[in-house]
Amino acid sequence: MIYIHVPFCRSFCTYCDFYSELACAGKSIDQMKAYAAELRKEIALRQDEYEKTKAVSTVYLGGGTPSVLPLDVLKDIVAALPQGSGREEFTIEVNPDDIVQKGQDYVRELLDMGISRVSMGVQTLSDPLLKWMNRRHDASAALEAFTILRQAGVRNISLDLIFGIGHLSDETLLATLSQFVKLSPEHISAYQLSIEEGSALAQMLSRGQYSPAPDEQCERQYSLICSELASAGYEHYEISNWAKPGHRAVHNAAYWTRQAYLGLGPGAHSFDGVQRSSNSLQLQGWTRTFEPLGEDEIKEEKIMLGLRTSDGISPQLCDPSALNKLLSEGLLETLPSGRVRIPEKHFFVSDNIIADLF
């Protein structure tokens, strides 16, 4: 199970605080090649760690925007991966604009590399909102990109959606959801807008240029997403994720069950089952820091991550009195397997429920 961070974007989204460098003509090509060379070194140096992660055979190219990489640079990275990587699932994140510009031949090259799943950051099909987010694409480009992916042969597509924006109306959200359902992707991820320190949005807030959505609006819009996607036959298997039957994200689901994974590239995180590590934020010569986990931290992680999912957790992880209280209040429910989970109608307040278990 491998995650690769690709730290390049052609523009920075209003809400984003992930590590990324601006990719523009000229100098950025040399930077990308230097980054790829450093990444290949890291892959070679960490072969022993990869062996610990082979229980789940997935690769995830995230970012940043992996689709800005020149094809030859991307091929060099993929060729350096351990043999057999990504047999179960090989995902790449793409921007719609890149897919439209590069076309079906580019997508077929991705498939020939072994990539089997594409996650596309659409976020909304409202052009004014896309402009406010500083996204490079418009609604028509997102729809065209989806068609290109399908016609090129991609059979596992995930679309991203954002809700809980101060000036996002329910009607606009429903219009995007309706279009998503018509497209019929295998997977949809929906995230509530958060204000991250260091993002352009945080600066806008401090200057009085943005008013956050109230909790009531966020909860209502989340409920709309749950209802619309349930009606369309999607399984709500994790707080922010919906899938058609048989199309849960294998890679992401492994995070929630605390499988070991190898994170490569600047800013990437890794987990070997006992300790976490993270890479520093620089294009060359990145270093690692380590964070050993104690028994209490491991237990808390199992509860927090497991209760994000529809599969829930073993009740033995929980304090019996706290567990029984939440069960009696209907904030937790028992599955036929004996595991306990948060009912979907309470997913929106899951953080509060989880906190009551500690």
Banded pLDDT at 25 (limits 50, 70, 90): low
Q: What is the DSSP letter of 261?
A: B
What are the tens digits of pLDDT across the range 311-350? 999 999 999 999 999 999 999 999 999 999 999 999 999 9
pLDDT of residue 358: 85
What are the tens digits of pLDDT across the range 271-300? 998 999 999 999 999 999 999 999 999 999
Q: What is the DSSP letter of 274?
A: S
- Of 38, 160, 36, nearest to 95 by C-alpha is 160
Beta bridge partners of 91: 60, 117
Task: Verify cis geometry, omega within 30 degrees of 0, for the bond prior to 64.
Answer: yes
Banded pLDDT at 10 (limits 50, 70, 90): confident
Find tokens 């009085």 and name the residue.
Answer: 208
118 three-state secondary structure: strand
What does residue 334 show for φ and ψ, rounded to 5 degrees? Answer: -100, 130
238-243-248-251 Cα dihedral, nearest 10 degrees: -70
Q: What is the mean pLDDT of residues 123-152?
A: 97
Banded pLDDT at 193 (limits 50, 70, 90): very high
Tokens of 229: 């996607």
Written as one letter, the residue type at 125 is L
How many Å apart are CA 58 and CA 187, to the nearest integer? 17
101 three-state secondary structure: helix
At residue 137, does pLDDT exceed 70? Answer: yes
Angle (CA) 306-257-259 rounded to 5° is 155
The alpha carbon of 24 is separated from its chain's Cα centroid by a whole number of angstroms, namely 25
Banded pLDDT at 189 (limits 50, 70, 90): very high
Query: For 82, what's the count of Cα atoms within 13 Å in the CB-facing half-sphere?
Result: 24
Would you report the helix, strand and coil content of the chain in percent, each value rounded to 5? 45, 20, 35
Banded pLDDT at 357 (limits 50, 70, 90): very high
What are the tens digits of pLDDT across the range 80-132? 999 999 999 999 999 999 999 999 999 999 999 999 999 999 999 999 999 99
Banded pLDDT at 26 (limits 50, 70, 90): low
Q: What is the DSSP letter of 2?
A: E
| Average pLDDT over the chain, rounded to an integer | 95
Written as one letter, the residue type at 203 is Q
- Domains of the chain and any CATH numbers: 2-255 (3.20.20.70), 294-358 (no CATH)
